Amino acid sequence: MDKLYIISNWKSNKTLNDAKTWLEEIGKLSPNDSKEIIVCPPFTLLDCAKTNLPEHIKLAAQDVSPFSEGAYTGEVSAKQIKEFADYVLIGHSERRENFNETDEMLQKKVQEALKNSLTPIFLVQGKENKIPNGVDIIAYEPLFAIGSGNPETPSNADEVASFYKETSNIKYVLYGGSVNSENVSSFTKTDHIDGVLVGSASLDASEFIGIVENA
């Protein structure tokens, strides 16, 4: 493992004022070559996050359009995202479920991201999910663990990470689902997990700082 990814996914949370306070706190974290910190604000706050965070803290969009620029009302293209972010989440279970995202659509999103030099972080819910070509980083997030306070066991998560590394070209496997500052190290100290993707617990700046420190 050459570095740990520690990702905060805000989902549809925070307005401008909430965001500024959070960003100011997180912006105080010093650079650390062994930890890549990535923040995923909603589209409306990407600009504010870019302005208020130091360069060593990276940004990701939470989604990307499967289409290039053009007449696609409501969509945000990879080219537009690239002005603010280096990464993009693709295939979160909340999007697969609530917005009927299909494997075919997810593949197009990955292609759009790669075409525009955005690194896709592709989310899988288990070993059955197909991973589009060109993906290097995935996050394993079992449905039962998301937002439930009931995380996967580190040994099961490690086993899934090891499976993906052995059976595909995936370089980094992250774990997500009810991670917090207390349990983060049980995942990051395993042999095959390269970081964590955190939702609820990361909304609080001091808790997210604890997660980064304990990872």
Cβ distance to ligand PGA smaller for residue 29 or 146: 146
Is 200 among the residues that bind ligand PGA (CB under 6 A)? yes
Distance CA 61, CA 40 (A): 5
- CB under 6 A: which stretch of 20-28, 97-105, 158-166, 191-199 binds ligand PGA? 191-199
Is 141 among the residues that bind ligand PGA (CB under 6 A)? yes
Tokens 């990701």, residue located: 60
Instruction: Indicate which single residue of 31, 54, 126, 147 sits in contact with ligand PGA (rule: CB under 6 A).
Output: 147
Distance CA 189, CA 175 (A): 12
Reply yes or no on whether 56 is catalytic. no
Cβ distance to ligand PGA smaller for residue 53 or 197: 197
Cβ distance to ligand PGA smaller for residue 21 or 150: 150
- Provide, rounded to whole angstroms, the least separation between the CB of residue 198 and ligand PGA: 5
Structure tokens at 207: 């808790």
Structure tokens at 161: 């990470």
Q: Calculate the CA 61 to chain-centre distance.
A: 9
Exactly one of 92, 101, 152, 192 is catalytic; name it: 92
Structure tokens at 12: 């549809």
Reply yes or no on whether 83 is catalytic. no
Is 176 among the residues that bind ligand PGA (CB under 6 A)? yes
Is 116 among the residues that bind ligand PGA (CB under 6 A)? no
Label residues 93-126 b or e (16+ Cβ within 10 Å = b): bbbbeeeebeeebbbbbbbbbbebebbbbbbbbe
In the range 46-105, which residues lie near ligand PGA by CB under 6 A?
none
Tokens 């989604």, residue located: 63
Is 199 among the residues that bind ligand PGA (CB under 6 A)? yes
Is 179 among the residues that bind ligand PGA (CB under 6 A)? yes
* 88 closest CA partner among 56, 66, 55: 66
Structure tokens at 113: 């991201």
Interface residues with ligand PGA (CB under 6 A)?
9, 141, 146-147, 176-179, 197-201
